[in-house]
Structure 1
Amino acid sequence: MFKRTAIWLMSLLSLSAYSANVSNISQQELLAADLKNLVIVDVRTPEEFKEGHVPNAINVPLSEIVDNPAILSSSKEKSIVLYCRSGYRAGKAAEALHKDGYQNLSHLEGDMQGWLKEGLAVEK
């Protein structure tokens, strides 16, 4: 019982740290956004990305962000929208980027599952 409670508390603390550093952006807000100052980053695997992704997204897998957060340094001054399949990997990517000094981070509400559920266009 103690282990389960400890794990739950650690997860809750991790989630609160993540949410304190990242704002949410809705699918409709993203569709209406000016792409000149925005970078959409899909942190899924290249295979998942090839199956279909949010239009104008670039693929930078979570493992690459964790190993080298500076991989997105050319976009550091822009707003960065992160998403994955369901949210976990995007959260981990946001943590790594925030620790490296990235300030303008957003998370796509619903991630790819939500995007598909709404029937929104995907690129392949």
Structure 2
Amino acid sequence: MFGLFNRIPSISTSELAGKLGKNLILLDVRTPGEYRGGHIASAKNVPLNKIADYRQKEAQPVYVICQSGMRSKQAARILKQKGYQVINVTGGMNRWTGPTRGGK
């Protein structure tokens, strides 16, 4: 039973694509260089090494993405411990087939 409380919900990149544009908070936890190389337009870059400092005013779910899903899982655990409702995007940008934007 104990494991159920620590489980981070996750969605696929195609499920994420269906939610974009709905005032969704999406954090890209890759390095600034990776982020500049191509990211989802609405994603905010908060690198994994800075995730513990993340602050958000409104209480709404936070979606977390990285390159493959490993760093976002770590980031999701940190955010969950801070009391955020977090959803990890499995497969990360490797599985993302939607449009991306380069630069900041």
Specify the SS of the correspondent of 2:56.
Answer: helix
Q: CA deviation at 1:46?
A: 0.6
Specify the SS of the correspondent of 2:100.
Answer: coil
User: Quick one: structure 1 residues 53 and 17, their matched pair in 2 at CA, closer, same or farther if it must change by over 3 Å?
Assistant: farther
Quick check: 2:68–2:90 contact (8 Å CA) kept in 1?
A: no
User: Quick one: structure 1 residues 40 and 89, their matched pair in 2 at CA, closer, same or farther if it must change by over 3 Å?
Assistant: same
TM-score by length of 1: 0.70
Q: In structure 2, what is the equivalent of residue 85 of structure 1?
A: 67
Amino acid at match of 1:35: K
Q: CA deviation at 1:120?
A: 2.2
**Residues 88-107 of structure 1 aligned to structure 2 (within 5 Å):** 88-102=70-84, 104-107=85-88
Specify the SS of the correspondent of 2:57.
Answer: helix
Q: CA deviation at 1:109?
A: 2.1
Q: In structure 1, what is the equivalent of residue 22 of structure 2?
A: 35
**Residues 1-124 of structure 1 aligned to structure 2 (within 5 Å):** 20=7, 22-33=8-19, 34-36=21-23, 38-66=24-52, 68=53, 71-75=54-58, 77-102=59-84, 104-115=85-96, 119-124=97-102
Where do 5+ consecutive residues of structure 1 fail to align? 1-15
Specify the SS of the correspondent of 2:73.
Answer: helix
Q: Distance in 1 between matches of 2:95 and 2:5?
A: 20
Question: How many pairs were matched up?
Answer: 99
TM-score by length of 2: 0.82
